[in-house]
A and B are shown apart, each in its own frame.
Chain A
Amino acid sequence: MKHPLVTDLALHASGDLSGWQRFVTTLHCNRCEQCRGKIQGFLLDRERMLAGREELPEGLDWDRLSAEMTANIRVGLAAGECVSPLSSHESQKASLFTGWNWRPAAAIAGLMVVFAGAWSLNLPSSDSAAIGRVFQNITRGSRPTAIGEDRGPVVQASSEGIEFRENGSTLGVSSSGSQPVAVSVSFSGSASARYVDNDTGQMTITTVYVQ
């Protein structure tokens, strides 16, 4: 003879078993004294619990018990988050920051360092100054105001010699390695510098024409 499960007997005792299982279990218990005894035991336990639920244990602080239970529930939820598998949304979000491929970025950063080094080695100081002025203008939100800029190449005569300048930057100086004894500019669009060779005493006049 096959007996019903103990859990079905317990549910039958509390009246919680569904319709067909309840009918089958009732038929079996009518013919089985053993199962009927178990159901009787469940009914007695239920009656005892119902009788004692009116009285709380002595010294029980219900508020403290409630707080501890709430705390335990939160700890349990947090622990569950730690061990549970990631959802698809969360895993995509995390890959943006932790699972990214750093090698191409490192290679690009290295190339940028090499390029910046080569740039700084090849860039004349005048260009650096010009770039600096551009950044200054950007940060100040102003336009270049120096007279003589933005008017194409201009020729300048100074104690250093003849110098080409464009947009405020020098394009080089005509110089024989020594300071000129005189420089001059002409309204016709030329500049001249005079040099005297220390050894031979020979005078050389260098002129450039911008018009």
Chain B
Amino acid sequence: MRIVNTIVLLAAVLGIVSGQTLTPKIVLPKDSPVGLLTYDFSNSTTSARGGTYIVDVRGSLSLRNETQRRIRSITLAVYAQEVAPGGVGSVTVPSLNVGPSETFSVRIENHLLRPLVPGAGGPSVEVKLDGILFDDLSFYGPDSLNSQRSMTHWELEARRDRDHFKSLLKTAGSEGLRKEMLASLARQNDRGPGVQMVRSRSTNVDSDREIQLAFASMAEAPVEVFAGTARVSTNEASAPHFTVKNRSTRPIEHLDMGWIVKDAQGREFFAASTPADLKLAPNQSGDVRQDSALHFQQPVDIRSITGFLAGIEYADGTQWIPTRAALSLPALRDHVPASPEEQRLLQIYNKKGLDSLIEELKKF
């Protein structure tokens, strides 16, 4: 047996074991609001690279809404290895509009990692239901990946943006909607460089310095951000630290801060977000710290970093998101990424035209 294990390990190390097919195990709870009709993962493969299995999960599921409510969003968790870095992924489909007994499909394209352990057999993958969000914002699921928060956030953004475009159509007509779509398309093309998230700041940088963080002012935001710092060096920003105060009348449990980086050439781009769990009673202040680091793919001489509140979750589970008016501030307008719903509507306009976009807006 030791010889077999050695051969498998050696073959894997040499990259000879490759392209094995993979059939994930699909796990739905007994009382799942959706039923599995069909699935196809014939394109899923695994390959060994060094001491790691690379699990390429590619497939689709056909599901049916077994409830009497409309489904707005679903998240499926994909597990190759629960504890190893890169062993867990997820696929979320927001902006759904699936009525009772209606069917819909979910495509899964996940690249995951799993440590190669001789004698443990090949990699196995499980696809599990993590959560479903209904049109009344009620939620079902184990929520292992905090999918309820994300799906609720995206649904609130979707409603905000659909209302905005519907209002624009009503007040400015189809030409006004077209101009808004073209302006939004122009903003989408302005992307920053690729960015890596590393688990801790590097130790081999030589020009590490601390900078003061700036924050976009949002008058209606439930929290106020006082001050903050981050460490920056060549191509890297790390250890953001800032202080917030809850100025609302409700306790807060979570906030999401977005970061816009400006380089020496004056170029600005959205870099990353910082989700933070913190319990803040009304008028209470608290600190947020992160030890991770962002490493940019291309040379970026970081001159300033501006934070903006992307979302707040209260203790009762309800959320606050910034208004479109707040996001249209000059400091944010061209750099804050569009919501998934706005990007979906842009794609409909871009591929099928203005009439199809107007038809889509009428469905909700």
Give the B-binding residues of A (Cβ under 8 A): 118-119, 122-124, 127, 145, 147-148, 151-160, 162-166, 171-177, 181-191, 194-198, 201-211
Contacts and interface: CB of A to CB of B under 8 A. Distances in A.
B85 A181 contact: no
B334 interface: no
11 contacts: A147-B236, A147-B295, A148-B198, A148-B236, A151-B198, A154-B197, A156-B194, A156-B197, A194-B340, A203-B340, A206-B110
A129 to B, nearest CB: 14
B336 to A, nearest CB: 11
Q: Nearest 8 CB-CB pairs, A to B?
A: A158-B194, A174-B111, A196-B347, A176-B109, A156-B196, A187-B290, A210-B85, A203-B344
B297 to A, nearest CB: 6
B351 to A, nearest CB: 6
Contacts of B94: 203, 205
A148 B298 CA distance: 13
Nearest to B112: A208
B15 A155 contact: no
Interface in B21-74: 49, 52, 54, 56
B306 interface: no
B134 interface: no
B348 interface: yes
B274 A188 contact: yes
Contact of B92 (A157, A172, A207): A207
Given A171-B113, A189-B197, A206 B275 contact: no
- Most B C-beta atoms less than 10 A away, residue of A147, A175, A177: A147
B191 interface: yes
Contacts of A160: 194
Place the interface of chain B in its size category: 35 or more
B196 A155 contact: yes
B292 interface: yes
B323 interface: no
Contacts of B16: 118, 122
Contacts of A184: 270, 272-273, 337
Contacts of A207: 89-92, 145
Contacts of B347: 181, 196, 198, 201
A181 to B, nearest CB: 5
A69 B197 CA distance: 90
A127 B13 CA distance: 12
A155 B270 contact: no
Given A202-B93, A207-B89, A187 B202 contact: no
B262 interface: no
B86 A153 contact: yes
Given A172-B56, A203-B343, A209-B145, 11 more contacts: A153-B85, A154-B295, A155-B86, A156-B197, A159-B191, A185-B195, A188-B290, A202-B105, A206-B90, A206-B91, A207-B145
Nearest to A207: B90
Nearest to B52: A171
Contacts of A201: 344, 347-348, 351-352, 360
B235 interface: yes
Interface string B78-104: 000000011011111111100000000
A151 B344 contact: no
B85 A185 contact: no
Contact of B89 (A119, A165, A209): A209
Given A191-B197, A203-B93, A203-B94, A164 B351 contact: no
Contact of B344 (A123, A152, A185, A196): A196
B205 interface: yes
Given A147-B234, A154-B198, A162-B111, A182 B275 contact: no
B192 to A, nearest CB: 10
Interface string B179-198: 00000000010010111111
Contact of B18 (A122, A185, A204): A122
B343 A181 contact: yes
Contacts of B294: 185, 187
B200 interface: yes
B141 interface: no
B171 interface: no
Contacts of A158: 193-195, 297
Contacts of B346: 181
Interface in B249-304: 270, 272-275, 290, 292, 294-295, 297
Contacts of B159: none
B117 interface: no
A173 B110 CA distance: 8
B324 interface: no
